[in-house]
Structure 1
Amino acid sequence: MSHAAIGAASSALLARSPSLRSKSTRASRAKSSSKTAIVAPTRAAIAEPETTRPPSARASGRKRVVVLGSGWGAISFVKSLSASAPYDVVLVSPRNYFLYTPLLPGAATGAVEERSIVEPIRRPIAEKGYKYFEAACVGVDAETKTITCRAADATFDATVPFSDLATRTEANAMACPWHTFDVEYDYLVTAVGAVPNTFGVKGVEENCLFFKEIADASRFRREVSERFERATLPDVPEERIREILTFVVIGAGPTGVELAAELYDMVYQDIAKMYPSRLIPLVSIKIVDLQEKILSAYDRRIAEYATDFFQRANIDCLLNKQVNEVKENAVVLTDNVTKVTEEVPFGMAVWCTGIKLNPLCEKIMNALPEGSQENRRSLATDKNLRVKGSGGSIFALGDCATIERPRSIGKAVDLFRSAAKCSVDGVCDSSLSKEETKACLQSGVSEFPHLEEVINNIDDAFAKYADKDTGRCAFEGFQAMLTEVDNGLRALPATAQVAKQEGEHLAAFFNAADGDAAALASDDSQFNYVHKGSLAYIGKDAAVADIPGFTIVKGLAAGIIWKSFETISQVSVRNIFLVAADMVRTKLFGRDISRFN
């Protein structure tokens, strides 16, 4: 096809899609008289295939729903939304696949293959006739209901020959009119997740491997393999081998624990059989956490069992330790009890603790009316997942959202009033110490579990609002402290289970509304999270499982439950078969520890 034909096809495509406008294209039209007009690459002309749907939602009267992200919240929403619902759906994500995150530690050690836990996002999109753009949202205009997107790989240029790939630079790429474009929406569903939080600890970004994406798992697998290969080379000193084979996992939540457990299995079940036996005694796996037990957010019995299991497996548990700094080859820790600081050498460190606000969510907050988003940790929503201040046009779910908790906060105020013997006007007979405040809030935890998080985060804020002489807090100070603490917390844990339920609820809400704006603005249906249990793999085919209303299962029996659940919970039949085959292959033949790059 000639350049002229491509340009004509591109112009025709734009004419059919008035609501999808390229900023750079508008600029090129203004320069149409120029002798050096920009020609769109061939891929742009076929980027949006012909469909039977009207190209413009506004022209057809159908509501356009734009979904940002391809994680748990987005995939659950898209798969649960009825294909016959009167919406034109556009999904925008720089990642063109869904990742089954619970098995990411297994992929990092070869227990399952990377391709087995990813599902092309275009599969569910194509099944329902929706549209997908592999791009990142870089801006949101809440007033005009428009998002600005940029191609996921802005350096790509199809006109550059393979022999000259070095010219695919950022500057050259921006000359392409198809790399930045606008998409209008009637409703925006934000499911972009969160990003790793370093908590300001010096050296984390430079010296740690993060563990959140498939690329992180691939790098972990490659790095571990390389370290063992280096250790087998002739004349490598024992001290150097001990150094490069020391692995430190920072964060003893489910991800950190499962990664340490999978690494343990990889070393003692597979590497020990194929590498010189002299290496194995020099391997050291350590896990670091601020709490006294690993899996501290789980039931106390599970946390104690998992901690004891790790210690018996010779996984060094450095607990009740604060990470002060991560140096090039050592992590600096301070014991919370003794206040003693020490340096723990490592060959490889992985940061598996904490998340923070996605930068895009901060842009959304700034686009909304001032004062509507006081929680700066995530987008605050009402019970129907509508972002506060958006007028009902923006929804948020998953790790990037938190649901307002007016009832639990009101309960906390009532408990303090009662304990301090306050009148209706707020005049109290006494103020409360920190321990008395915690005790009064504890009485409401069974009814409002969120208060447990408030109690756990009072320590730092209490001194700020308490009387400096007595160390006690008055009613006004308690209210201010409660607001500050609550604005830094999430209503629900940042788990796949929560995001999945929110996506399914929101899809059911859109299905029931059937495109009616009044129904989508109503409060008839509200999201209520139902905890369906917790699972975590702890190594040697063992796991821990907390099944609400049933029991707590530990050991090999829980391991069978864990493997079965993670297999059947895949988002497609294809992935179920792939994961099942990987688990059988690993059990029969061991892990594939080859390194390709």
Structure 2
Amino acid sequence: MTSRVALGGAAVRTGANAKANAKARARPVRAAVSEPPAAPASEQVPAARGAARKKVVVLGSGWGAISFVKSLPASAPYDVVLVSPRNYFLYTPLLPGAATGAVEERSIVEPIRRPIAEKGWKYYEAACIDVDAGAKKITCRAADPECFDDKGRDCEWHTFDVDYDYLVTAVGAVPNTFGVPGVEENCMFFKEIVHASRFRREVNERFERATLPDVPESRMRELLTFVVIGAGPTGVELAAELYDMVYQDVAKMYPSRLIPFVSIKIIDLQEKILSAYDRRIAEYATDFFQRANIECLLNKQVGEVKPDAVVITDKITGEKSEVPFGLAVWCSGIRLNPLCEKIMDSLPEGTQENRRSLACDKNLRVNGSNGSIFAVGDCATIVRPRSMSKAMELYKSAAKCDDAGECEIDLDKDQIKAALNKGVEEFPHLEEVVNNIDDKFAVFAQANGRCTFDGFSKMLTEVDNGLRALPATAQVAKQEGEYLAAFFAQCDGDATKLMGDETKFEYNHKGSLAYIGKDAAVADIPGFTIVKGIAAGIIWKSFETISQVSVRNIFLVASDMIRTKLFGRDISRFID
């Protein structure tokens, strides 16, 4: 991620000379911190009913933020200010398609000012760099590249404070390197539209280099080896779209001698790609990739990324090896946004123990904020204490414990998993706990390979603190944003109601989709069936088209897909 969209960074320069100050004052105010072009008519935004209008500040312009802004009625008694360094919403599920030219970049972005202007609210193109939860104030820095140079410009006006009554945090997460050396220096990340643009240029550049006269075969093989690290939906779809681009378009326009040197590899720690999906989907997708000559390096842990090779270790045998590459893309995991760490630090001690995401109650209120801060999307986790109580009960039942916690037997790892699985139907979160016990069990088990009730309690706490109650997906963020908007509208600006517990967020899983190449996809539709192959591909294309956030984008994506099918991808490279 570039410095323009970073949420932290160096302090703003304030010591420019008088001449620079005069120039800075003479400069017109930039659009980054401008108001909407025209104030809305009074009948469009009626006065608050009974009390003063509350000021709601929204941080971010992703799924959670756009869903909240679009769903909150303009008539609700709130003055909304959205703050984000990115002045557009990005439809992330089609990012792999944009990276290969299957859809155009402009087709999957929506100006964030459109829904803001429609409701007479405000938008500031800036990054929130600090939060004072006690004073209900945020500090922002305008997303202006002139602020980050060393030419003596006076950028003091670029930093400003915004007060709030309620803060909605929807800043998402950032890529997680898990401390693997060389990732940031030698890999591309794949999370923003700039990453898709760069990937498209880099792939095209490698084919152009390989086409030049007198390029040795060893160099061609190196240039045309593409490695994707992470076999979740993003990594799988990127590898699939790249495969389509190579064999449907590149093969027709470039010398045929290049194609035998093309190699697409995907690396993952799990034994199947799409391992978080239904087992049947994971097995089908893995077999599909292998038949398509996309090399699946599974059960492999990445230990280091060198400038020209990924160092991997086989999880079963412990054997180390190197995988050479011409281009490597890191699609493996997310971590807490640095801004959320600042929010945690501004809250009372002990209210935010899970450092992976902001702990929230069932109404998405951030614990310790006294109901003034809400969080949605990848930066939030709903704490579910009842599921932990259920886990304790299940252990006590299996180990025949009394009320004082004295047990007749201690349980081994398999017995603990079997006990917890009995509660998965009632508390789905326990399934994630079961899947993550392996890494922690040895720490809390006794020498005999069994875990006491006290050891189990400590292990359960540590495992749960490292987990999310809901998956970090666009589907979850969208539903949370819509729910929070409905909750705000229902409370009608009443502070007491906004602190109430009459309703709670309930996630409704609507299915999982993933594109796997050659017009095929996999789909898990709850209550219906699992669909695989070309039929699932049609479902995938239809769903991703109609799910755009505006009619404009629906038409753009539909026309892009038709254009790609009829005329192929535009694989030209613009040199910047």
Short-chain TM bin: over 0.9
- 1:149 is matched with 140
- Equivalent position of 1:574 in the other structure: 552
Contact 1:86 1:514 in 2 (8 A): yes
Relative to structure 1, the CA distance from residue 36 to residue 92 in structure 2 (aligned partners, 3 Å threshold; closer, same or farther) is closer
Q: Which stretch has the larger CA shift, 432-441 or 116-125?
A: 432-441
Letter in 2 for 1:246: T
1:154 deviates by: 4.7
Could you say which residue in structure 2 is the equivalent of 1:169?
A: 149
Distance 1:259 1:170 in 2: 38
Q: 1:140 aligns with which of 131, 146, 152?
A: 131
Q: Give matches, 1:308-323, under 5 Å.
A: 308-323=287-302
Alignment of 1:375-414 (within 5 A): 375-414=354-393
Instruction: Provide the identity percentage.
Output: 77
Q: CA distance change for structure 1 residues 531 and 170 in 2, over 3 Å: closer, same or farther?
A: farther
**Greater displacement, 416-425 / 184-193:** 416-425
Contact persistence 1:77–1:507 (CA under 8 A) = yes
Q: Deviations over 1:86-113 (max 9, x none)?
A: 1000000000000000000000000000
Counterpart AA for 2:476: V
CA contact (8 A) 1:253 1:295 kept: yes
SS in 2 for 1:178: helix
Instruction: Give CA deviations for 1:214-244 in whole Å, capped at 9, x if unaligned.
Output: 0000000000000000000000001100011
Amino acid at match of 1:244: L
Question: What's the offset of the Cα at 1:176?
Answer: 2.9
Task: Tell me if 1:547 matches 2:525.
Answer: yes
Provide Cα deviations, 1:473-532, integer angstroms capped at 9, x if missing partner: 111111111011100000000000000000000000001011111111101110000000
CA gap 1:517/1:35 in 2 versus in 1, 3 angstroms: closer
The answer to whether the aligner puts 1:499 opposite 2:486 as a matched pair is no
Give matches, 1:131-530, under 5 Å: 131-155=122-146, 169-170=149-150, 172-173=152-153, 175-467=154-446, 469-530=447-508
Q: Which position in structure 2 is the counterpart of 1:66?
A: 57
Q: Distance in 2 between matches of 1:435 and 1:41?
A: 68
Q: Distance in 1 between matches of 2:119 and 2:38?
A: 14
Aligned-partner Cα distance in 2 for 1:246–1:452: 37
Q: Take 1:216 and 1:36, find their aligned partners in 2: how far apart are those partners?
A: 38
SS at the partner of 2:156? coil
Contact (CA 8 Å) 1:384, 1:523: kept in 2 or not? yes
* Conserved 8 A contact 1:141-1:147: yes
Matched, 1:43 2:29: yes
The offset of 1:425, in angstroms, is 1.2
- Equivalent residue letter for 1:401: A
Matched AA of 2:29? R
Instruction: Indicate the residue corresponding to 1:13 in structure 2.
Output: none
CA distance, structure 1, for counterparts of residue 21 and residue 101 of structure 2: 55
Instruction: Provide the rounded CA distance (Å) in 1 between the counterparts of 2:167 and 2:27.
Output: 29
1:524-564 CA-partner distances (Å, limit 9, x unpaired) = 11000000000000000000000000000000000000000
Q: Provide the secondary structure at the position in 2 that maps to 1:595.
A: coil
Q: Does 1:561 align with 2:561?
A: no
Counterparts of 1:514 and 1:317, CA distance in 2:
53
Q: Name the CA distance, whole Å, in 1 between partners of 2:244 and 2:159.
A: 46
Shift of the 476–580 alpha-carbon distance from structure 1 to 2, 3 Å rule, reads same
Structure-1-length-normalised TM-score: 0.90
Against the structure 1 CA distance between its residues 40 and 368, is the aligned structure 2 distance closer, same or farther, given a 3 Å change threshold?
farther
Q: Deviations over 1:250-286 (max 9, x none)?
A: 0000000000000000000000000000000110000
The answer to whether the Cα contact below 8 Å between 1:154 and 1:179 also exists between their aligned partners in 2 is no
Counterpart code for 1:273: K
Q: How many equivalent residue pairs?
A: 556
> CA separation of 1:37/1:247 partners in 2, compared to 1, >3 Å: closer, same or farther?
closer
Aligned-partner residue type, residue 172 of structure 1: G
- Partners of 2:150 and 2:174 lie apart in 1 by 24
Equivalent in 71, 77, 88 of residue 68 of structure 2: 77
Separation (CA, whole Å) in 2 of partners of 1:477 and 1:317: 38
Q: Against the structure 1 CA distance between its residues 550 and 180, is the aligned structure 2 distance closer, same or farther, given a 3 Å change threshold?
A: same
Cα shift readout 1:100-159 (whole Å, capped 9, x = no counterpart): 000000000000000000000000000000100000000000001000000112525xxx
C-alpha distance in structure 2 between counterparts of 1:213 and 1:85, whole Å: 32
Q: Which amino acid aligns with 1:104?
A: L
| Alignment equivalent of 1:118, drawn from 103, 109, 113 | 109
Describe the superposition over 1:188-225 as per-residue Cα deviations: whole angstroms up to 9, x where unpaired: 00000000000011110011000000000000000000
- Partner residue in 2 for 1:18: none
Query: What CA distance in whole angstroms lies between the structure 2 residues aligned with 1:329 and 1:314?
Result: 22
Paired residue secondary structure (1:366) = helix
Secondary structure of the structure 2 residue equivalent to 1:409: helix
TM superposition shift of 1:471: 2.2
State the Cα distance separating 1:41 from its structure 2 match. Answer: 2.4
Greater Rg, structure 1 or structure 2?
1
Cα displacement (A) at 1:35: 10
TM-score by length of 2: 0.93
The unaligned stretches of length 5 or more in structure 1 are 1-22, 157-167
User: What residue in structure 2 maps to residue 105 of structure 1?
Assistant: 96
Letter in 1 for 2:133: A
The CA RMSD measured in Å over matched residues stands at: 2.3
1:446 CA displacement:
2.1
